[in-house]
Structure formats: C-alpha cells, structure tokens
Amino acid sequence: MERVARALIARIRATHDGALKRQTNPRLFVETPDNFWSVEIQPRAVAIKLVVRTDEDALLRAGLPYQSERPPSYWAMKIYGYGDIETALLFVAAAPQR
C-alpha cells in the first residue's frame, strides 16, 4: 500500500502544490496550506481513504464513486490499488482549491 500511496501523491503533486501534514492520528495526513484533501492509511482494510472538500453535486456530475464523510462539505473514496489512482485523481480534481 505504501507504493500505491507514493504513486498517488506523486500524481497529485504533478498538478497541485502543497504539503501533507501528519495529524494527531499518525495514519492521517492533511493537505496544507489549503486542506481541500486528506489521506488516511487504513491497514485493516488494506486501503487508503481519500477525503476531499467539495459539494456532492460535483461528484455526481463527474460520475465518481463516493461515501459520506462529513456532509455537506467532505466526501470520501477508498483506494485499494494502482487501478484506483486515476479515479482518485478525478476525485481530487472535483475539489476546488481556495
């Protein structure tokens, strides 16, 4: 999962500057300076949870899979492998930066 996470972050960094800051929860990293996305390592699920700040309509229009995280502003998806990275990039693209 570490390789998938590194690949995901490298692809996001190709279009979005910033830095991930580790939170009190050692598996949670939040984008700075604008916390429009975050990732959480989920070892039991063998997944990475990606959370973005956007409106639900943007995700619906893009046809992206999502889960409620903290509605109405934050939505999540799970990344299980390299095959989910392209969808994750679209998920981040649906989240406008401030």
pLDDT value for 33: 83
Q: How large is the average pLDDT for residues 69-87? A: 93
Q: Which of 46, 54, 32, 31 is nearest to 84 (CA)?
A: 46
Residue 19, pLDDT > 80, answer yes
Angle separating helix axes 85-93 and 2-13, nearest 10 degrees = 40
What phi, psi does 62 have (nearest 5°)? -80, -10
pTM: 0.91
pLDDT value for 63: 92
Ranges of beta strands (E only) in the chain are 19-22, 28-32, 37-42, 47-53, 67-70, 74-79
Express each pLDDT in 24-68 by its tens digit.
Answer: 999 999 998 888 899 999 999 999 999 999 989 999 999 998 999
Domain ranges of the chain: 2-93
Place domain 2-93 in its CATH homologous superfamily. Transcription regulator MotA, C-terminal domain (3.90.1150.20)
Task: Output the six-digit token pair for 60.
Answer: 């619906």
